[in-house]
Amino acid sequence: MKIRDIFSWSYILLACSMLAIGRVYDERLEVLGFNFSLLLTSLFVLLSILIIFSSKTIDVVPAKWYLIIFIIFIIISPILWGFFGVFEYGFWKYINFVGIVAPLVYITSFFKFQDVKKLFDVLIYFILFLAVLGLVQVGGSAERLSVLGGGPIVFARWMLVGVILIFFNKKNNWITYSLLFIMILLSVAAGSRGPVLSFILTVGVFVILSFKRIFLRVIVVGSLLSVLWISFAANEMSGIGKSDRLVTKDSTSKNVRLKFVNRSFELMSIYPLGVGIGNWQPYCNKTKPYHLLRHEYPHNLVLEVFSELGVIGGILLLLLLLKSIYFTFNRMLKYSNNSKIYTLLFYLQVFLFINSLFSGSLNDSRLLFVIISISLISKPLIFTTDEE
């Protein structure tokens, strides 16, 4: 194995670890008085600095400027703290984003096809590990699934990211379909509506864009699902974990999110230039001290950015999301005969974007920003002999 390959694998393993953990410091990773997150973060920062200072000029496509400007806007956003103050939650949110997402967005700009494949392969193995832990837990519990300290929303999101990665990245055989079934089952067992609904909408986009090509498979799969739904199997599945939450009439979650929307718009009308990262809850409660919120963010990435970073930050985010999806869609059409990579990137963006509207935050959306960065790599992600 070449030195470059060893270095590449080392960095990708560290990058995936940081994406999975999502924090530069995580108290959950402390064993016998030693915190492994500090070691991982130190190695990640060291290798990132080496790559950044040894890298050449980036060949940037026009759409990527929206990502670059948005990241810079976040980096300089502490200016708002000078006017509105800073709280511990916001401080760590900023540190985690700048310490993990910002360097990854820059460094993935230099990725080649094989680097991207390595990154996705490592993510798949990580998600399979989570699935094994989930299977162990779901077998003896009726509670919502949460493994390695992450909540059920995070677990369901990772499972469905795994479904998309495996579906577009692996060969179609019985092993692949078995893994897809298990991961979908585990995401349902987590009982989180946001990721499941986002996945259903993403599947809907896939069916619409590929209907002629997959017409027969749509009919077969639709028929099987219909049979399962009206048979005893559907009733049995409803007893797994907290899957019953997906079909119950409890509207608490919906009502809370509608409240988040209203409070966010109220905050934007009072502070159109934003209140600073992490200050959504304190200033929502300040505007209505008789109706306090206990949630730290509005569970919607777009509302969060508009509220905390103002109209300018919100518009930058929307332009970035729309431009990147459009760019990836065009490349998917152009290179569909050469590689599935842009198809995978397109549907990952669609799923993660939709999910960010139901249960996302700036920190939770770290994978979305990395996927966008990879999608906007100037050189087409097609395997060539010079990468062997």
Q: What is the pLDDT of residue 364?
A: 87
Do the beta carbons of residue 374 and residue 116 sit within 8 Å?
A: yes
pLDDT score, position 149: 53
pLDDT at 173: 76
Fill in the amino acid letter for 305.
V
Closest by Cα among 350, 340, 387, 339 to 372: 350
Nearest to 345 by CA among 316, 366, 319, 367: 367
pLDDT at 257: 81
Q: Is 364 helix (H, G, I), strand (E, B) or coil?
A: coil
Backbone phi and psi for residue 339, each to the nearest 5 degrees, phi listed first: -160, 150
Of the candidates 282, 177, 175, 160, the one whose C-alpha atom is nearest the C-alpha of residue 221 is 177
Tell me which residue of 252, 254, 282, 283 sits closest to 266, measured CA to CA. 283
pLDDT of 5 = 72
At 347 the pLDDT is 95
Take residue 235 and report the two structure tokens written for it: 């009733």
φ and ψ at 31, to 5 degrees?
-130, 125
> What confidence score (pLDDT) does residue 385 get?
47
Closest of 96, 84, 49 to residue 275, by C-alpha: 84
- The neighbour count for residue 311, using CB atoms within 10 Å, is 14
pLDDT recorded at residue 226 = 53
Q: What is the pLDDT of residues 153-166, one digit of tens each?
A: 888 899 999 999 99
Chunked into runs of 10 residues, the chain (388 residues) has average pLDDT values of 76 90 82 81 91 78 89 95 92 93 91 90 91 73 55 86 88 80 85 86 86 58 52 48 52 75 92 94 87 85 94 94 94 84 94 90 91 92 60
| Model pLDDT, residue 382 | 79
85 φψ region: left (φ > 0), alpha (ψ -120 to 50), beta (else): left
